[in-house]
Amino acid sequence: MVTKLELIVESQALLGECPCWHQEQQLLYWVDGDKKQLHVYQAETKIDRTIQLKQSIGCVVPRKSGGVVLALEKGFAALDLETKKLTPLVNPESHPPSNRFNDGKCDPTGRFLAGTMAIKNQTQGVGALYSLDTNLTVRQLWSNLTVSNGIGWSPDYSTMYLIDSPTKKVFAFDYDLITGDISNRRVAVTIPDTDGYPDGMTTDTEGMIWVGLWAGYKVTRWNPNTGELLQTIPVPAPNVTSCTFGGANMNELYITTARTDMDRAQLDYYPKAGSVFRLVTDVIGMKNFEFGG
């Protein structure tokens, strides 16, 4: 059983992205990449705080020692949420300068995995997936990506999922939780041509994956073992960018959307595009982890 989609943050985000639920603090981080803004939504007070930065933001994760870590246009950086001080950590892609970081997530050991893409024109094969370890060293895990996007894991963390949006595929890899290595890439899900492009994603404790669809007007739930479509959640916005589970019982699906690439007719017809939505589901989602460094 799924209840009605609820608007929780009415926003005109150009590129609302990367929702990340902090279970211990019961808050939702999300970003507007194009406006260079980090948002912090307190579920109890329903207050959405905005922190303005000077670089485009790909994604955000909480940091175990306090604050958050961001994957930005120019690499990884730590942000103090009180002073708003930004501290660069490492930039593995000073070349090419035309790239930026996009989506990412932490694994249970506290590593921060995030991928890159071309800032303009989605140049084929220039992106890569990186892993920022807790000792602040970084290494490349995969290359030849075009738009490195949503990341998630199976319930036992032996499988990692990664989206390369233009391919319309969700890839699966064997994941070694001890070393952080990935191997044995294969296709888990192929999005139909009529359903837009896979963007961000999350996973649930039943091992299923939830994918936001850019130009698809929905979130879809899939069985990555069979490639079967299990559920469709319509969203009142053309560009559905990502989703994550949260709430006290980890059964609430938070969904981000974007306004970029919409014409005036679409903006008039979908005035809530760019907002954040929530849906109470009958499944339990996988936890988002903190960066351990």
Q: pLDDT tens-digit profile of 150-195?
A: 999 999 999 999 999 999 999 999 999 999 999 999 999 999 999 9
Q: Select 6-280's CATH number: 2.40.10.220, 1.20.200.10, 2.120.10.30, 2.30.42.10.
A: 2.120.10.30
User: What whole-number distance in Å separates Cα of residue 18 and Cα of residue 70?
Assistant: 11
Q: pLDDT tens-digit profile of 215-262?
A: 999 999 999 999 999 999 999 999 999 999 999 999 999 999 999 999
Q: Kindly give, in sequence order, each residue whose CB lies less than 8 Å from that of residue 154, ignoring residues fewer than 6 positions away.
A: 160, 161, 203, 207, 224
Structure tokens at 173: 């890899």
* Residue 96 confidence (pLDDT): 61
Beta bridge partners of 9: 276
Q: pLDDT tens-digit profile of 44-71?
A: 999 999 999 999 999 999 999 999 999 9
Q: pLDDT tens-digit profile of 88-126?
A: 999 998 766 688 999 999 999 999 999 999 887 678 888
- Is pTM, for the whole model, over 0.75? yes
Active site residue 34: no
Residue 1 clears pLDDT 60, i.e. is over it: no
Q: Which of 156, 199, 204, 282 is catalytic?
A: 199
Contact assessment for residue 172 and residue 203, using Cβ atoms and an 8 Å cutoff: no
Q: What is the mean pLDDT of residues 196-217?
A: 98
Q: pLDDT tens-digit profile of 148-158?
A: 999 999 999 99
Taking alpha carbons only, the member of 192, 196, 208, 195 closest to residue 245 is 208
Contact assessment for residue 43 and residue 27, using Cβ atoms and an 8 Å cutoff: yes
Q: pLDDT tens-digit profile of 257-285?
A: 999 999 999 999 999 999 999 999 999 99
Contact assessment for residue 292 and residue 264, using Cβ atoms and an 8 Å cutoff: no
User: What whole-number distance in Å separates Cα of residue 16 and Cα of residue 273?
Assistant: 9
